[in-house]
Structure 1
């Protein structure tokens, strides 16, 4: 948690800007809520290095130098974050770290830096290496250099963002956790425009939520997907949209890195950003991100397991009108049982209630309800349940909601209907409507269509899930595949040899 200048100020900041926002974090109480790392983004340095090859602060922006900034932040009880780039120059054209890994890491440590954001612009081509290999080498070297300083410096990696939309994206997401603690994996959040301060940035929030939520499989304690800055409270979002971003980021376990002008935040925005119940969901010690239960184009329902056995449920209203959303504790992942009851707390209104299973929330336009659900004694059993989304955002679907043996399993637009609700009971099966995802006759021939069948414990009904997003049938060794690489509604699924990050074999599961 913390603050970064970029999304509000871009390069239009100085030493005074950074320190004024740092003091505002303290005076508003946001620092006490956890927003403690203050990061200076691109443009802080000069385009060239000094005679000894060291990075140089821009004297017009930072007349007292970067060590002074670190000292001032530490005196406020805050941590000092700084930006650099793995390439020959930063995205803004300033001196990059390429070939200066240890020198720059040592310099940062001498300045008292606690957090490094390493961007990925302008990496050179290296003979005999793919672009992905070059990026891995660069981030590995900076990680080693930071460790060698002996100073604990949190490492934020931007490498995945440079591969978004390519087949190497999953590969990069698979290795960044070896080197750092968090990583930017996609598009930047829309920046503030002082000339159009109220220009909507809501679509950008939805975009970043949209690419981040399906990849929860890469997140675990100490390793965090970062869908970019929190702009809640800044121009371009309504109050409900701001609370939505906070709710969704908390549900996904995303870093809460604020990028507003903290000195200008309203009292209401400060209260929202400092909502202790929402922050507790985001910072939950279990470190298990939420996943999508259902989407129907209007409502997204997500659930997140919490360390004490509670669940956090987020209900996003994408529409421009208020809705009353209904769901259940079963959808949240609780198995329930006779005599079970559940305490429900609305984390925005503070209202509490008790239910035996039904859940309801009034959700404003572009709003997100965030509920914390506490099971009574004996009701804590949970089962992962939700949609399986894949290529082009299509959902795995029991065609026509049929339950006869051999009913086709296809991809279809996500509807949130029961025939797209799959459970993973922990026995290797994947189930919907009481039936199992099945390779008929436990066949091993590539191209065999997958269908639905009564659960019988056969080898054709066993599935394992890997971090790359493959749902593998161990009996055949093949992957659940959308036939022919298609994404059209109604396309059947089959088993096929697992390829390298094939989009038609990559699935997001409730887990």
Structure 2
């Protein structure tokens, strides 16, 4: 499980940062004593609540507008996506609940205290939307907040529990998602007690509304990373049917790299929570991004497959009216859906791990197992696990059904696949298999390079079945410019259950363009497999060729500072926000090319003019840097809450590493990851102009150690786009 990050609040949108700060402050204000409060102690201060009915016997499925539309949702696009659910066939496969998220309501309740739909965006009202959805055979979901206001600043349900629950019932609502921004903590209570009381109140109000409504709770997300997290999940499972327990998933307008990082983060915190989930009570790692720009088909399929393995709700949050055939295929794969919706209702667990990969296993009804081989790394690799490790009973043979390609193979006990970067191979594994089923095979690349024979690999064809392979031919295909020796050849006939080998040498094309080029070299073996006949298997090798940038400035790829008269180019947080050049000059004495001295360190601020690229949104860039010293110093900030390794390469060919992280630029503790505040401004620029006055927007310094006595040649930044680097220097 990865280290939990601060929850990404919806109020990162322009104009809502003050709310984000307040919400983050609430999360961070949980005192140590409160964090240690047990579920029993909390319950003692909270009225007893009846167990909420099991309205979600399998993980909920459907669509939510938030990730793609945020506060831009309206009646038209909600109903258009509902129609797309039906016309695409997704509704018939289980995606049957359409949920309208935050910002759907007017700024104030009416004179009777009722919530009012925004008359501009939902002119026909919510009862009308509910009737339209029901007429399509769909269910109606709606969002509210447990606090005094929603994350977007609209009326919350605090002290209106029964009124709101009854109103939702009258509108035909089938699913209620209750967020947790702005929950007040009464005097004499701790934060967990306050959250427990307010969610218990809504749970009882829904229970007595006269309508069956699935209840989605967001309380655990506000305690992620605290010692109260498990306790909050525990009582959430009593009060509702599912719970958001951590970070929000990335927004639709964020980069592909940020989306993949977010998927990894949410998978990381959810995969370790199997003990806290029970059939009918579901951990919810948030929305599916299948269909969003920037994600590859492998990444889309990985998220769907991993969510299915974790028995997570499958809730799409993209524009389904424009979804590609590949995205719809990943969402609508009935065999993968069956793993998610399996009646046993068990969350899959990690049964094996290695460098850049996880193997998950999930028991299924009837004794089968779903087994997922997840390659989280940036390079293709062969992932292997034994059937016994995956939890299968001993047997002489097993049948593997690839739930994406639909290929069926037979193995004597090894489950293996050649997995591309960021991809997941998901199998349904059953006892049995006969001689007419193709044997399970895999291609494995092993680096056997030496100084005398660089870029040399042992390429093996592994046979995990009972049939003896014959007539084996190996061919290696590479992109234009690469040289492969040998490119084709015949392999000797191996004994059943063993491997055949070939030594292959690769030579990369010459390239002087700065940056890293990723190339895929594919080895394909064709063969005959006894009674099963002709077969084949392919295995990729990812080759990275890196040409260092000549300087940090040459690698700048993001606009972090804008003029208050032209804020449009801003992009520090992927939603158009940025530092103000005027505030930096007036409040911190920082202008293009100026020296920043802070915390005993000295940096040169970028010479870039406001509105031009002036920082690196770190994605593994390698930068030329010369010098010796005791530490490498960075000036930067974050728009997430992550760390990543920095690799330093010295002139003698050796390397050293260190972890780099910064606090969030506005809304987290200022000493996270060992960083220190270097400069502060009191507002920021948003796409509509300067805003959020009174909130501190900061830039930080941090350091990693160097090997003393060695001369630095280059540095490789973390592959974490949320980390932004403005400057670096070597400290004597």
TM-score between the two structures when normalised by the length of structure 2 = 0.50
Q: Report the alpha carbon displacement of residue 225 of structure 1 after superposing the two structures with TM.
A: 0.1
| Aligned match of 2:428 | 372
Paired with 1:12 and 1:235, the residues of 2 have a C-alpha distance of: 18
Aligned partner (choices 312, 319, 328) of residue 254 of structure 1: 312
Q: Quick check: 1:360 aligned with 2:416? A: yes
Question: How much does 1:63 deviate?
Answer: 0.3
Q: Distance in 1 between matches of 2:416 and 2:359?
A: 12
CA offsets per residue over residues 345-375 of structure 1, 9 Å max, x none?
0011100011120111121110011011012
| Match in the other structure for 1:51 | 111
| 1:190–1:204 contact (8 Å) kept in structure 2 | yes
Structure 1: any 5+ residue segments left out of the alignment? 378-511
Instruction: Report the Cα distance in structure 2 between the residues aligned to 1:53 and 1:29, rounded to whole angstroms.
Output: 40
Instruction: Work out the CA distance in 2 between the residues paired with 1:12 and 1:153.
Output: 26
Does the residue aligned with 1:45 lie in a helix, a strand or coil? coil
Q: Contact conserved, 1:251 with 1:290, CA < 8 A, in 2?
A: yes
Deviations 1:263-309 (A, max 9, x none): 00012211111000000000100001100112223111110011111
User: Which residue number in structure 2 is paired with residue 399 of structure 1?
Assistant: none
Kindly indicate whether the alpha-carbon contact (under 8 Å) linking 2:250 and 2:258 is maintained by their aligned counterparts in 1. no
- Please say if 1:34 is aligned against 2:34: no
Asked whether 1:349 is paired with 2:409, we answer: no
Task: Say which of 135, 149, 152 aligns to 1:75.
Answer: 135
Say which SS state the counterpart of residue 330 (structure 1) adopts: coil
Which of 8, 11, 34 pairs up with 2:68? 8
Give 1:330 deviation, angstroms: 0.9
The Cα of 1:130 is off from its aligned counterpart by 1.0
Q: For the residues of structure 2 that align with 1:171 and 1:208, how far apart are their CA atoms?
A: 19
- Aligned-partner Cα distance in 2 for 1:200–1:127: 40
Provide the secondary structure at the position in 1 that maps to 2:389: helix
- 2:336 alignment counterpart: 278
Q: Is the 8 A contact 2:374 2:424 kept in 1?
A: yes
Q: Which residue of 2 aligns with 1:307?
A: 365
Query: 1:183 & 1:80 partners in 2: Cα distance?
Result: 18
The aligned counterpart of 1:135 is 195
Matches within 5 A, 1:72-471: 72-193=132-253, 198=256, 200-337=258-395, 340-376=396-432
Shift of the alpha carbon at 1:141?
0.8
Deviation string for 1:434-481 (max 9, x for gaps)?
Answer: xxxxxxxxxxxxxxxxxxxxxxxxxxxxxxxxxxxxxxxxxxxxxxxx
Q: Contact 1:87/1:96 (CA < 8 Å) preserved in 2?
A: yes
Greater share of residues in strand? 2
Structure 2 Cα separation of the partners of residues 240 and 139 of structure 1: 38
CA distance in 1, matches of 2:384, 2:279: 32
Q: How much is the aligned-residue C-alpha RMSD, in angstroms?
A: 1.2
Q: Distance in 2 between matches of 1:183 and 1:357?
A: 37
Q: Map Cα deviations across residues 40-71 of structure 1 (whole Å, 9 max, x no partner).
A: 00000112110000000000110000000000
Match of 1:498 in 2: none
Contact in 2 for aligned 1:200/1:236 (Cα 8 Å)? no
Tell me, in whole angstroms, the C-alpha distance in 1 between the residues paired with 2:193 and 2:177: 20
CA displacement, residues 402-444 of structure 1 (integer Å, 9 cap, x when unaligned)? xxxxxxxxxxxxxxxxxxxxxxxxxxxxxxxxxxxxxxxxxxx
Whole-angstrom distance in 2 between the partners of 1:75 and 1:315: 41
Note if contact 1:114-1:153 (Cα within 8 Å) is conserved in structure 2.
yes
Task: Tell me the distance in 1 between the aligned counterparts of 2:343 and 2:432.
Answer: 21
Give the C-alpha shift of residue 186 in structure 1. 0.1
- Farther off after superposition, 367-376 or 60-69: 367-376
Is this contact kept in 1: 2:108–2:155, CA < 8 A?
yes
Would you say the 8 A contact 2:230–2:276 is kept in 1?
no
CA distance in 2 between counterparts of 1:206 and 1:236 reads 15
List runs of 5+ in structure 2 lacking aligned partners.
Answer: 1-60, 434-732
CA distance in 2, matches of 1:172, 1:155: 15
C-alpha distance in 2, partners of 1:346/1:331? 19
Shift of 1:98: 0.3
**Is 2:84 aligned against 1:24?**
yes
Whether the aligned pair in 1 keeps the contact of 2:310 and 2:348 (CA below 8 Å) is: yes
SS of the aligned residue for 2:273 comes to helix
1:199 Cα deviation (Å)? 5.4
Shift of 1:198: 4.7
Partner Cα distance (2:314, 2:159) in 1: 31
Helix, strand or coil for the counterpart of 2:372? strand
3-state SS of paired residue (2:272):
helix
Q: Which residue of 1 aligns with 2:22?
A: none
Asked if 2 retains the 8 angstrom alpha-carbon contact of 1:325 and 1:362, the reply is yes
Q: Deviations over 1:134-192 (max 9, x none)?
A: 11111111011001011100000000000001111111011111111000000000101
Q: Distance in 1 between matches of 2:366 and 2:122?
A: 46
Question: What CA distance in whole angstroms lies between the structure 1 residues aligned with 2:203 and 2:247?
Answer: 23
Q: Which stretch of the first structure deviates more once superposed, 165-174 or 86-95? A: 165-174
CA positional deviation for 1:200: 4.1
For residues 326 and 105 of structure 2, what CA distance do their matches in structure 1 show?
A: 35
CA distance in 2, matches of 1:124, 1:86: 9
Give secondary structure in 1 for the equivalent of 2:111.
Answer: coil
CA contact (8 A) 1:15 1:61 kept: yes
Aligned pairs, number:
373
